[in-house]
Amino acid sequence: MLESATLVVVMNLETYGWNDSFAAAYRSLALDRCVPGRVVADHGSYLKVVTPEEVTAELSGALTHNSEPYQLPKVGDWVALQLSDHNRAVIHAVLPRSSEINRKAAGTGNARQVLATNVDIAFVVQALDFDFNPSRLERYTYQLRQSHIEPTFIFNKADKAVDLLDKLAIIKTLNVPFIITTAIKGEGIEAIRVIVSKGKTAVFLGSSGVGKSTLTNALLGDERQKTAAVRESDSMGRHTTSHREIFVLPSGGLIIDTPGIRELQLWGEEEYLSQSFKDVEELAGGCEFRNCSHTKEENCAVLAAIHSGALMATRLESYLKFKNELEVNAYVIASLSAKQKKQRARRLRKATQLDEKLESDGELYD
């Protein structure tokens, strides 16, 4: 049973993470007749914004047409908006972000999709049953560190764990803090609550069916998010969270619950690989050739470590795959002409909107 919330939070902008840095950025916009607010939910056709009163907002024409898709307001953004009657508003500007979590949007060729902004803490949730996937964890680790956010892994459904000791051995090789939970029983929730301190914004990321909404409900002490059972055979299920939304916890922290992510294609710079693959790159320093591909060369220190058992072969496989993805992304963008970039921006705006609509329409996630 969930604990009932005992602390009444007085709602103001500070409740949602407003600080001196955002205040200074807002003043520099010098927009008349506007007020600051934070986007707390994205319903596709409209946004919910707190000022701290909650209003329904749409984008101004100028903001829509003069912005790349990734620059448009996302959940977590602070915005400048003009209020009108009946709790309606128009957003005219987005304040600079302290952080943003990106991915390459699925099926768009080469679009950058922003999943959440102004996030302080990122929890990557996997279930200790059929969802457990170390390669996917490596992807999240790279993507978050590229955004200057250190991840914390949450391994949920410990009561349904399969081969737990083997999984723990793999988890420890990733060198990322982790928490083991059984959210439906409230186990491990306090460890999460301690991390999400007052005024900090955290986000739950992961596949459908891993228990993100159950974790959210447990932290809130209330059944605010709809949950549903998944198939016992493979842990798959139709996700019940259809949009991203910020919730204020009784402790004063903030949590963003998100729909299940079908796939996490990489977006970012190759230089950040060193943060997620320090073990591989440190070994690479001992290779005979600086441009060693770590695939067939003699005197390759990385291959030697694999042969000796000091490095898991799967780590090198992930490293090489990530490196190739990022190189392809960079080449595609660099090879476009100015005209092609404008055409691409129009296509990506439509494609990104479609991809986000599919997320909210109840597609199956893996």
Confidence of residue 108 (pLDDT cuts 50, 70, 90): low
Report pLDDT for 238.
Answer: 45
CA distance 6 to 288: 62
Q: Do the Cβ atoms of 248 and 220 come closer than 8 Å?
A: no
Residue 318: left (phi > 0), alpha (psi -120 to 50), or beta? alpha
Q: Which domains does the chain have, with CATH numbers?
A: 13-94 (2.40.50.140), 100-265 (3.40.50.300), 270-335 (1.10.40.50)
End-to-end CA distance of the chain: 29
Q: Which of 335, 331, 344, 330 is nearest to 269 (CA)?
A: 330
**β strands within the chain, DSSP E:** 35-42, 47-50, 54-59, 78-83, 88-94, 100-104, 112-117, 121-127, 151-156, 178-180, 201-206, 245-248, 254-257
Q: Distance of CA 227 to CAs 11, 241, 249, 356, 364, Å?
A: 27, 8, 18, 20, 15
Residue 279: how many CB atoms within 10 A of its CB?
A: 18
d(CA 280, CA 137): 16
Model's pTM, two decimal places? 0.77
What's the pLDDT at 354?
43
Contact 47, 57 (CB under 8 A): yes
**What is the average per-residue pLDDT within 183-188?**
92
Separation CA 44–CA 46 (nearest Å): 6
Question: pLDDT tens-digit profile of 70-92?
Answer: 999 999 999 999 999 889 999 99
For residue 10, pLDDT beyond 80: no
d(CA 273, CA 149): 14
Most confident of 129-138, 234-243, 325-334, 356-365: 129-138
Average pLDDT over residues 100-123: 83
